[in-house]
């Protein structure tokens, strides 16, 4: 039934992140809140890559973002949220155990956004360790993004910018976005593990139902070692444009 729910969200309402205002001579503030759930595979491997232990970790998460773009290309942003991981495998003082973990995080960022190009960098800090297969446990990471192309069609990659962090796409993703109509945009890409054990397909959609309000949906589809690495999130955004 969970798989059916993920597929329903993936194919019904394909969300773009960080849409720019139509008027470059105006400043803009975007506020977003979102929540989601999913699961990933926590896999322990030996020196030669053999599987030592594998566990399914279910999670729920919430997140927010606050971005303000000035009349110049300068944009400042703040993201944050909380992740609840259920039955996560940990290794402490020579003993393995499974724990339920709650983890708060915060992420300030500064970026430059032109019509055909955007780049940003920030600092991500979590209350407790996050796990990334290729890096290991850490609480502090760089964050950032790169965009090439205008909102109608562009390529972008994002590091530690998903809202929420897990169900919104994971740690690192890249893909192509398109503004299909005045009210509907989508982004299709690939999540490069973290916290997931392997990569997975991502779809994000943004549906504008009034001038200021947007409905945001995101989905992830993947798996590792027979364990589902799927997620879905739902968000609401509000845009304030100042002349």
pLDDT tens-digit readout, 109-132: 999 999 999 999 999 999 999 988
% of residues, the chain, pLDDT over 70: 86
Strands 136-150 and 153-159: antiparallel
Going from the C-alpha of 183 to that of each of 29, 58, 61, 74, the distances in angstroms are: 18, 33, 27, 25
Q: What are 226's strand-pairing partners?
A: none
Cα(152)–Cα(130) distance, integer angstroms: 34
Q: What are 66's strand-pairing partners?
A: 31, 78
Print the domain residue range for 51.
2-242
Please give the pLDDT value at position 12.
Answer: 39
At 2, is the secondary structure helix, strand, or coil? helix
Please give the pLDDT value at position 6.
Answer: 39
DSSP H or E run through 52: strand 51-69
With 0.75 as the threshold, say if the pTM is over it.
yes
pLDDT tens for 26-49 read 789 999 999 999 999 988 777 777
Question: Residue 95's domain is classified under what CATH number?
Answer: 2.40.160.40
pLDDT tens for 42-82 read 887 777 777 878 889 999 999 999 999 998 899 999 999 99
Mean pLDDT of the chain: 86
Number of structural domains the chain divides into: 1
Please give the pLDDT value at position 231.
Answer: 97
Average pLDDT over residues 93-121: 86
164 preceded by cis ω (within 30°)? yes
């Amino acid at each position: 039934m969970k798989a059916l729910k993920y597929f329903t969200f993936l194919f019904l309402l394909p969300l773009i992140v960080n849409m720019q205002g139509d008027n470059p001579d105006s400043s803009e503030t975007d506020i977003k809140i979102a929540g989601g759930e999913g699961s990933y595979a926590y896999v322990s491997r030996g020196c030669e890559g053999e599987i030592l232990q594998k566990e399914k970790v279910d999670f729920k998460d919430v997140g927010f973002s606050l971005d303000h773009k000035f009349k110049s290309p300068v944009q400042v942003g703040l993201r944050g949220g909380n992740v609840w991981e259920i039955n996560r495998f940990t290794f402490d003082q020579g003993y393995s155990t499974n724990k339920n973990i709650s983890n708060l995080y915060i992420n300030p960022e500064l970026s430059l956004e032109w019509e055909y190009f955007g780049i940003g960098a920030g600092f991500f800090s979590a209350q407790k360790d996050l796990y990334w297969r290729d890096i290991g446990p850490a609480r502090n990471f760089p964050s950032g993004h790169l965009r090439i192309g205008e909102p109608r069609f562009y390529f972008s990659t994002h590091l530690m910018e998903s809202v929420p962090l897990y169900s919104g796409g994971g740690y690192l993703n890249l893909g192509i976005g398109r503004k299909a109509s005045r009210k509907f945009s989508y982004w299709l890409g690939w999540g490069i593990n973290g916290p997931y054990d392997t990569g997975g397909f991502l779809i994000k959609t943004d549906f504008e139902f009034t001038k200021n309000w947007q409905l945001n949906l995101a989905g992830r589809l993947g798996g590792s070692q027979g364990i589902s690495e799927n997620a879905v999130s739902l968000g609401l955004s509000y845009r304030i444009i100042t002349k």
